[in-house]
Chain A
Amino acid sequence: MTPRCVFGQAINHGGQSSAGFDAFSAHASLGLFALCDGANSCADSGRAAAWLAKAITQTPVDDGEFINFRTLVVDLHQQMLSDFPETASTLIGLHVRPQGLRLVSVGDSQLSLYKHKGWIRGAWRKVHTMPQDIDAEGHPSQLIASEVLNTVHELDFPAASAWMVVMMSDGPAKLLSDASIEKALMSIGQLTPSPQDLDYTCQSLANEALALGCRDDVSIALVWVHYE
């Protein structure tokens, strides 16, 4: 099966109050997508997040093979410890291959996978959310380039007719309900979206998070994957 990807984004949405600590990178032809949220408490984390997102999506890929996120992230973590000291970043990402999807998550950003509901035309339902590393205080318990990186969460899903991958930094993820996201995705329905359709959906959700009082960086990316 041949996957086809369309993606949209609203990164560091909202302007004025946003410090721009989030970064998104995509290499659609390689099927690589990454959203990174730099730790706001460290001044250089925005730059580190941008570097990390780009490094993930520019990784050389063997034909037909999934990327090994576990080893890749550990390697990049080591490099960032020397190149970007006193920074930290989350990572959520995916690799789209003919055999399916591989999802990855580190930190408190949220990556959820949605699939068409068979019994309601055009509706999407959430089938999985990747683990978020959150401590009792609500802060990330591990981050790339920080002192703590224990586990790289990685999970594969088989090829299916259509997937929608919803990637969010922790700010909007805390405020947006599943119902809001499902309602926004319902506008896409079972049709093939354009990048502009997905940009619009991301911006609408980001506006909703801001209206709910989000003061963190607001970043949302959508990746629509269709197997033909």
Chain B
Amino acid sequence: MKFRDLFGIKASSGSVQQLNTRELDTFADNIVYELKTLISRAVAEALEEKEGRYLRSILEESFFTLDTLVIKALDATTYRELEDFLSNHESINPRFRTEFFHQVVQAEYRSSRGASVKTSPDLTPIYEVSPQLLESATEDESFILSLKGRKVRFQVRAVLSGPTRKTQEPLSATSPSPQAQTTPVIKNTAPPPHLHSSQHHLHITLHDKHGVRQKTVGLPALLGREMTAQHDDISPTIIEVAGMYVSRRQLIVFESFGQIYCFVPSEASLTCTTETGKVLPPDTLLRLEMDKTLKLTTGVPMDTLLAPTQRESVSDYPKIDIRIVHASTPHEDATPRPRAVR
């Protein structure tokens, strides 16, 4: 019989039911709260140590990655309690340990200076204890008290890597969800789709204001003056041609059904001539032949389609050499040793 029963008061009236917090839940809540706080502090400390070395502009366009997290129990009792808690739940749910630690690690942390830390989806914190603490500890060793008198039970150390440019994000997901554990990390180092889709690349030699330059690029490609790079996957490869008589959108090269074509768009005010002196009319396709280099010289006014007689200066009239190379040509980028001609 309880005290209130003496006055005829029922323990619960109708729909109201009193549920007491179980001891185990309280334990878990306290641990989660403490670990979350300590991990945030450890990440902030690691970030502060790193971010001071970088310009704010770089911090804003990049992120650090939380690579390693070491959680250390500061006394044997805490270690045993948490280890028992994890082990007991693991007997029911084998993934419990991973899921528990993912609960205490945030997907992203930020600093006031603009730096951010993303948690690697395959991160599993290391939970350890000092072997000495497993021995019977003295009273002084058993309790490390904070200023508020609360017992400090864990020590956390975070290790960051990076920074990595945000557009080159190496993570498959930013959230450390349990599913991420079984998902392989896909690094964004594969060629963009427009390179995948083509069996061919272009080897372009530019003779322009900047001298002679060679580039191997994917298709489609857009050559022109003062081009600004696009960074979405469906945009063409941009090749800047520096010279006086070059249009902004001078030449477009693309692949269709295994054939490579180029044309000068009608919006260009200037067009080009081929090696034989043929003028490329606007919006007219020219097929590039395998194993042959298409040699173009810029600077032909579109309104007259008559090539100026003097076009020797490549600073004024750049020359563009285009050759098709097969994407899978072996050792295409290798550097051979030059031999003397005998």
A179 touches B331 (CB 8 A): no
Residues in A with CB closer than 8 Å to B189 are 14, 207, 210-211
Cβ-based interface call for B340 (8 A): yes
Cβ-based interface call for B213 (8 A): yes
Which among B163, B212, B229, B340 is the interface contact of A177 at CB below 8 angstroms?
A: B229
Residues in A with CB closer than 8 Å to B164 are 204, 207
B336 touches A39 (CB 8 A): yes
A174 touches B214 (CB 8 A): yes
Cβ-based interface call for A27 (8 A): no
Q: Which of A39, A112, A128, A212 has the most CB of B within 10 A?
A: A212
Cβ-based interface call for A208 (8 A): yes
A213 touches B214 (CB 8 A): no
A97-146 interface (Cβ within 8 A of B): 107-108, 110, 112, 126, 128-132, 134-135, 138-143, 146
Cβ-based interface call for B168 (8 A): yes
Residues in A with CB closer than 8 Å to B331 are 40-41
- Interface-located stretch among A64-72, A156-164, A191-199: A191-199
Q: Which of A37, A39, A142 has the most CB of B within 10 A?
A: A39
CA distance A216 to B335 in the complex (A): 9
Known: A143-B337, A213-B195. A204 touches B165 (CB 8 A): yes
Total residue contacts A-B, CB cutoff 8 A: 163
A38-64 interface (Cβ within 8 A of B): 38-42, 45
Give the contact-size bracket for chain A.
35 or more
Residues in A with CB closer than 8 Å to B217 are 175, 212
B337 touches A188 (CB 8 A): no
Which among B58, B213, B240, B340 is the interface contact of A148 at CB below 8 angstroms?
A: B340
A197 touches B54 (CB 8 A): yes
Cβ-based interface call for B311 (8 A): no
Which among B210, B212, B229 is the interface contact of A183 at CB below 8 angstroms?
A: B229
Cβ-based interface call for B238 (8 A): yes
Cβ-based interface call for B211 (8 A): yes
Cβ-based interface call for A200 (8 A): yes
Which among A126, A130, A174 is the interface contact of B215 at CB below 8 angstroms?
A: A174
In angstroms, how far is the closest chain B Cβ from the Cβ of A49?
10
CA distance A197 to B59 in the complex (A): 9
Cβ-based interface call for A20 (8 A): no
Known: A138-B203, A194-B53, A208-B168. A177 touches B335 (CB 8 A): no
Known: A129-B213, A197-B58. A177 touches B332 (CB 8 A): no
CA distance A213 to B332 in the complex (A): 11
Residues in B with CB closer than 8 Å to A78 are none
In angstroms, how far is the closest chain B Cβ from the Cβ of A141?
6
Closest to B239 in A: A177
B336 touches A189 (CB 8 A): no
Residues in A with CB closer than 8 Å to B54 are 194, 196-197, 200
Cβ-based interface call for B334 (8 A): yes
Cβ-based interface call for B84 (8 A): no
Residues in B with CB closer than 8 Å to A196 are 53-54
Which among B168, B212, B340 is the interface contact of A204 at CB below 8 angstroms?
A: B168
CA distance A50 to B130 in the complex (A): 44
CA distance A174 to B332 in the complex (A): 11
Residues in B with CB closer than 8 Å to A134 are 205, 212, 214
B192 touches A148 (CB 8 A): no
B238 touches A177 (CB 8 A): yes
B214 touches A177 (CB 8 A): no
Residues in B with CB closer than 8 Å to A188 are 55, 57-58
Cβ-based interface call for B232 (8 A): no
CA distance A179 to B225 in the complex (A): 11
Cβ-based interface call for B61 (8 A): yes
Closest to A42 in B: B337
B212 touches A187 (CB 8 A): no
Cβ-based interface call for A2 (8 A): no
Closest to B210 in A: A129
Cβ-based interface call for B216 (8 A): yes
In angstroms, how far is the closest chain B Cβ from the Cβ of A171?
5
Residues in A with CB closer than 8 Å to B53 are 194, 196-197
In angstroms, how far is the closest chain B Cβ from the Cβ of A217?
8
Cβ-based interface call for B137 (8 A): no
Residues in B with CB closer than 8 Å to A130 are 211
B216 touches A175 (CB 8 A): yes
B residues sitting closer than 8 Å to A (CB atoms) are: 53-55, 57-58, 61-62, 163-165, 168, 188-192, 195, 201, 203, 205, 210-218, 227-229, 237-240, 242, 327, 331-340
A residues sitting closer than 8 Å to B (CB atoms) are: 14, 21, 37-42, 45, 86-88, 90, 107-108, 110, 112, 126, 128-132, 134-135, 138-143, 146-148, 170-171, 173-175, 177-180, 183, 187-189, 191, 193-194, 196-197, 200-201, 204, 207-208, 210-216
List 14 additional A-B contacts (Cβ < 8 Å) besides A134-B212, A148-B339, A194-B54.
A41-B331, A45-B337, A128-B211, A129-B210, A143-B337, A175-B217, A178-B242, A187-B57, A196-B54, A197-B58, A200-B54, A204-B164, A208-B168, A213-B327
Q: Report 6 cross-chain contacts, Cβ distance below 8 Å, ordered by A residue.
A: A39-B335, A147-B338, A174-B214, A179-B240, A194-B54, A196-B54
